[in-house]
A and B are shown apart, each in its own frame.
Chain A
Amino acid sequence: MQDGLNRILYVEDDAIISELAIMAMEDFGDFTVHHCSSGPEALEAVAGFGPELIVLDVMMPGMDGLETLRCLRELPESENIPAIFMSARAQTHERESYLATGACGVIAKPFDPIALPDMLREFWAEAKGAEPDAIAFRKLSAK
């Protein structure tokens, strides 16, 4: 697309939420979304799909979103791809702890499906514009 964000890797274990989120992203944002229902699945798929943005649910059974992102960062294919968390636990401090892992944004659940694509674009643009310094800074300040 015009701003460059097109391919999104979406990791979410809840079928209904993922269905709705994909609908919002595809219908209202015209993104190409690859959905994975778990962390390991995402690790496997990321190289093949080649996303520009990764959107992760935090609370997932087994490997949670934070762990998934950490692992993704270890893969050369995904080490620099901006990531956004979606979480039911997105109060101020949780938000900060998520950002500290190197994510470029946090979207609270319940989310507004209409506003969702714009939010993703904003975070992504911000991350891209600031990259790599901004991410590096966030990483540093988190420690």
Chain B
Amino acid sequence: MLLLACGVSLFTAFIMVISATVRMETTVRDFTEGNVAHETRLMAQQVKGAYDELENDAFVISRTPPIEGIIRSKKNSGIDPLEGSTAKQWNSRLETIFSSIMEERPNYTQIRYIGVADGGRELVRVNRTEEGIERVPLASLQQKDQEHYFQRARTLKRDEAYFSEVNYNREFGQVQGHLLPTIRVVVPVFDMHDSLYGMIIINADYGKILKGYFEQLNVGRDVVIANEAGDYMRRFADGSVSKFYFHDAENYSFPKFLSRPDDSIKEEWVSTNSEALAYSVRLPIKRGLDDSHNVITIRVPQKDLAASVRKTLFEGLLLSGILVILVIGVTVYWTTKMTMPLSNMTRTIDAAMRGGTELILPIEQKDEVGKLAIAFQQLIDSRIEHDALFSAIIDNVVDAIISIDPYGNVLSYNRASETLFGYTADEVISKNVKLLMPQEIADAHDGFLSTYRETNEKHIIGKTRELKARRKDGTFFPMELSVSRVDLSGGSYVFTGIVRDITERKQVAVMQNEFVSTVNHELRTPLTSIRASLGILQRRIAGNVDEKSEHLVNISLQGCERLSQLVNDILDLEKIAAGKMDFHAEVCDIGKLTEEVVERHQSLAEIHNIHFDLHVGPKEHYCRVDPSRFNQALVNLLSNAAKFSPVDGSVKIDLATCGADSVVISVTDEGPGVPEAFRKKIFQRFAQADGSATRAKGGSGLGLNITKSIIEAFDGTIDFESEEGEGATFIITLPICAGPEQQEKILCKMA
């Protein structure tokens, strides 16, 4: 369970990381690219700042008082007409200004004031040398009208500035001294007549400017700043800075990745290959008369990009990993805390169930587990109590109760079973129940069980059977076995068998049979003698003795009749009670049968001086009865009716149908009726209405009971209607069945 939870957590985390990785890679790539673009733009702005600064400084200088002061004094033969300073004084003041600016701007290498007259002679010049800032003396000033920048700057208007190309500084028309890539800004100076008087020129070490910016950059960035001409300077990813490459230098080569797009107006572009990503920003430079531009490119190797992606991913993974581990840890901790007592409980319960050890649950615990334990303990206690009660009952039952599974293995075996079979419970439980059977039954038993499992065909289930059982010592005893199926939850079932030792009952039954048989014979033999003797005597003395003697013989004969009838009835009762009364049921026309019975027993009517009034009708009604038993039942009713009828009375026998499926035979007499108090027990054994009147009629009191048993054996019913003093009607209702002809038809149809 826990493992599963951990697995699921890990799996989820894994999936999340993978999907995040995929998304993050693009995001990070975009982000890095954006970053590079930003850095490039920033760089471009800084480079532009350098140009602005140069221009700005030049304009500021051009507006300082010494500029005009020099013009005024020069035009007024060396003396400023406005405030009297000499040209030399003005020059000195301008030198001071130049020097202080140079102090401020370490990249500046020269600041000059050049006049257009006299071949472009320098008026004031301050240099930066290795020793410091140098004011160049008048004698060392040069003529610059041959310089390209001078030529270009002559055309400048007021407030225009001109940036030179980057090239080496030239003195006296020659490249010399330190080879510094130099950029120059030139702003024009006009006199009071608005004609060009001169120009302010600031030289700056271009390489140094760029280096300054390169140093502010992140390590790992490969930066190239190139101008329109193709001169460039490069800072490598390791922080080292190249020299300034001039496009017209020997061995010049332009880095491949700086290839420009065809559309040169484009301000920014990216070029990517498998090695690196390069972001370029075009920085337009207004060179006064000529427009120019620089291109600033930052190049990031793909591996660095990937590294940053990887770094981000790694961080993501690490974070997810930590989270997952944390979650799993917390989960494991809590589940363990939750399930530990539960699994402890489970183990305790298991052990208790298996080993019967005492059940100790953590009922003192104050949390939910404790509550659960209490609830469980209560349940178990009530269960145990219930089970104890139940097993006490089972164990104290006289009958053996054995339950088996569908394969015949014994599941339970009560104490009575131990006594009965001689095996202890331990010897039988989980063994096959065949152990308790004689060989012939045991052989067939597996077959019965498998047939039942497959087809549900019952052999003994739900019935009570008398079978032979086998004891441990190998002896056998007759048992009565009732097997029932007990359905358990989940569709399984067991069989429960109740075994009763019927040895004694069998013996009693045998004895009883013998007794009845003996009594029957032993009673009848003398009865036969008496009956025969009396019969012969009656004939012999007829007319020869007094009436009283004859009457006595008659009474004796009647007594004999009653006695023999009683013996017959008792015999029948015994058979019915033992379920041994034979019925040979056949389909009979019940009307015809009734007719025959009544005709055959006309003597009954004669004896009692009544007559039978029979209404059967010609229609045939078929019922399934045993003719001789039906005869016995009907004769009982006829005999009763005749007995209780007044002299010359009539007994009506009617036959009618009741609905389509039953026939009713009624026997109605005109006798005294059934007394109220007797009605309830009229069909009971030895039931006779009290009163000398009825007693005098004779009879065993068994007739109606036997009649009822017989009729019920034919699936019929018997009832009566009576009002005291108004006679009684006994009603037999029998189910109609198909007659022989119809049965034949049915058979034909079936065939």
Interfacial residues, chain A to chain B (CB-CB below 8 A):
14, 16-17, 20-21, 23-24, 27-28, 59, 88-89, 91-93, 96, 109-114
Contacts and interface: CB of A to CB of B under 8 A. Distances in A.
Nearest to B629: A92
A114 B539 contact: yes
Interface stretch (B170-178, B447-455, B523-531): B523-531
A66 B631 CA distance: 26
A61 to B, nearest CB: 11
Given A24-B535, A93-B628, A110-B531, 19 more contacts: A17-B528, A20-B533, A21-B532, A24-B532, A59-B521, A88-B520, A89-B520, A91-B568, A92-B629, A92-B632, A93-B582, A93-B584, A110-B527, A110-B564, A111-B528, A111-B532, A113-B536, A114-B535, A114-B536
A31 B521 CA distance: 28
A107 B527 CA distance: 15
B568 A110 contact: no
Nearest to B538: A114
Contacts of B520: 88-89
A91 B533 CA distance: 23
B529 A27 contact: no
A89 B584 CA distance: 18
B39 interface: no
B529 A88 contact: no
B563 to A, nearest CB: 9
Given A16-B529, A21-B532, A24-B532, A109 B582 contact: no
A112 B631 CA distance: 22
Contacts of B529: 14, 16-17, 20
Given A17-B525, A92-B632, A27 B536 contact: yes
A93 B582 CA distance: 8
25 contacts: A14-B525, A14-B529, A17-B532, A20-B529, A20-B533, A20-B536, A23-B532, A24-B532, A59-B521, A88-B520, A88-B521, A88-B524, A89-B520, A91-B568, A92-B629, A92-B632, A96-B628, A109-B524, A109-B528, A110-B530, A110-B560, A111-B528, A111-B532, A113-B535, A114-B535
Most-contacted residue by chain A among B536, B568, B582 (CB, 10 A): B536
B531 A23 contact: no
Closest 9 CB pairs of A and B: A110-B531, A88-B524, A20-B532, A92-B628, A113-B535, A110-B528, A109-B528, A113-B532, A16-B529
B8 to A, nearest CB: 82
A111 B520 CA distance: 15
A96 B539 CA distance: 32
Contacts of B628: 92-93, 96
Nearest to B531: A110
Nearest to A110: B531
B57 interface: no
Contact of B531 (A28, A59, A96, A112): A112
B587 interface: no
B572 interface: yes
A39 B533 CA distance: 25
Interface string B505-529: 0000000000000001100110111
A108 to B, nearest CB: 8
A28 B538 CA distance: 12
Interface of B: 520-521, 524-525, 527-533, 535-536, 538-539, 560, 564, 568, 571-572, 582, 584, 628-629, 631-632
A112 B524 contact: no
Contact of A28 (B527, B539, B584): B539
A110 B563 CA distance: 10
Contacts of A96: 628
Nearest to B524: A88
B634 to A, nearest CB: 13
A57 to B, nearest CB: 10
A57 B624 CA distance: 34
B528 A23 contact: no
Nearest to B564: A110
B476 to A, nearest CB: 32
B525 A88 contact: yes
A28 B542 CA distance: 14
Contacts of A112: 531, 535
Contact of B571 (A16, A28, A91): A91
Nearest to B534: A113
A85 B528 CA distance: 15
B536 A24 contact: yes
Contacts of A114: 535-536, 538-539
Nearest to A96: B628
Contacts of B560: 110
Contacts of A21: 532
A94 B566 CA distance: 18
Nearest to B572: A91
A59 B628 CA distance: 23
A112 B528 CA distance: 9
B269 to A, nearest CB: 124
Contacts of A113: 531-532, 535-536, 539
Nearest to B568: A91
Contacts of A27: 536
Nearest to B525: A14
Contacts of A17: 525, 528-529, 532
Contacts of A93: 582, 584, 628
A59 B535 CA distance: 23
B726 to A, nearest CB: 34
A29 to B, nearest CB: 12
B607 to A, nearest CB: 13
Contacts of A28: 539
B305 to A, nearest CB: 114
Contacts of A110: 524, 527-528, 530-532, 560, 564
A24 B532 CA distance: 8
Contacts of B571: 91
A91 to B, nearest CB: 7
Contacts of A111: 528, 531-532
Contacts of B528: 14, 17, 20, 88, 109-111
Contacts of B527: 109-110
Contacts of A24: 532, 535-536
Contacts of B532: 17, 20-21, 23-24, 110-111, 113
A14 B529 CA distance: 10
Nearest to B582: A93
A28 B582 CA distance: 37
Nearest to B532: A20
Contacts of B533: 20
Nearest to B581: A93
A141 to B, nearest CB: 13
Contacts of B531: 110-113
A21 B533 CA distance: 9
A23 B534 CA distance: 12
A116 B708 CA distance: 33
A132 B584 CA distance: 27
Contacts of B582: 93
A118 B568 CA distance: 24
A60 to B, nearest CB: 11
Most-contacted residue by chain A among B533, B535, B632 (CB, 10 A): B535
Contacts of A109: 524-525, 527-528
A93 B631 CA distance: 13
A96 B628 CA distance: 10
Contacts of B536: 20, 23-24, 27, 113-114
Contacts of B564: 110
